[in-house]
Amino acid sequence: MPALDNQSDYWNSTGTAKTFGHPLHPEWLARLDRAAAVLDYGCGYGRLAGELAVLGFTDVEGVDVAPELVARARAEQPAARFTVLTDPPRLAHPDGTLDAALLFAVLTCVPGDDGQRELVAELHRVLRPGGLLYVSDLCLQPDARNRDRYAEFAERYGRYGVFETGDGAVCRHHTREWLDELLGAFEPVAERELPVRTMNGRPAVATQLLVARP
């Protein structure tokens, strides 16, 4: 993964204090057996793994680039397994062995096209035919604050929607057309938009997409 897209230094320091709030829609996972193998890519401190355990899922693994966050996840969610990614986005799983993968507010932390393509291709590889990929992320936001920072950093990063946060992260908000292109190897299943809070507590509108590997 390109260096800009691997921001492990941020997530092992400032990022350990963040709160992640994109909500899980349980109905989208209703087709899965509770013994299904589910991966939470970019699991942070294990919030979603805990929610999946409450829903009855028994084979849940979270992976993340930040050892500090993974240590917290292991302490708070002992029913799940957690792994530190040492060569993101590469996973140790064999081809076609997972039933579902969650990708919640992760693409926003991978600002480059190539890095995002590599990540989605890796998840496509490890999902079985019919396996689900559940994406929750941020499209371009319409408010003046976001428009101003999109414009401020567009030349530096060569992409409108990529910006720096005040505490050292480089993030990306997407066009819907790009997300559709990025997920083009999958079949669409469901979509929705909903209000969320960003990791810095700002109001935003998230786009959630459920797609399946053919």
Backbone angles phi, psi at 199, to 5 degrees: -65, -15
When pLDDT is cut at 50, 70 and 90, the band that residue 15 belongs to is confident
pLDDT at 12: 82
- CATH fold of 3-138+175-212 reads Rossmann fold (3.40.50)
Amino acid code (one letter) for 22: H
Domain ranges of the chain: 3-138+175-212
pLDDT tens across 92-102, in order?
Answer: 999 999 999 99
Query: Mean pLDDT for the chain?
Result: 95
Instruction: Give mean pLDDT, residues 162-186.
Output: 96
Q: How many residues does the chain have?
A: 214
pLDDT at 4 over 70: no
With a cut of 90, say whether residue 213 has pLDDT above it.
Answer: yes
pTM for the full model?
Answer: 0.95
Q: What is the pLDDT at residue 5?
A: 74
Of residues 10 and 131, more confidently modeled: 131
Calculate mean pLDDT across residues 25-36. 97
pLDDT, mean of residues 103-108:
97
Q: What is the pLDDT, as a whole number, of residue 110?
A: 95
Secondary structure (DSSP) of the chain: --GGG--HHHHTTGGGG----PPP-GGGGTTS-TT-EEEEET-TTTHHHHHHHHTT--EEEEEES-HHHHHHHHHH-TTSEEEE-SSTT--SSPTT-EEEEEEES-GGG--SHHHHHHHHHHHHHHEEEEEEEEEEEEB---SHHHHHHHHHHHHHHTSTTEEE-TTS-EEE-B-HHHHHHHTTTSEEEEEEEEEEE-TTS-EEEEEEEEEE--
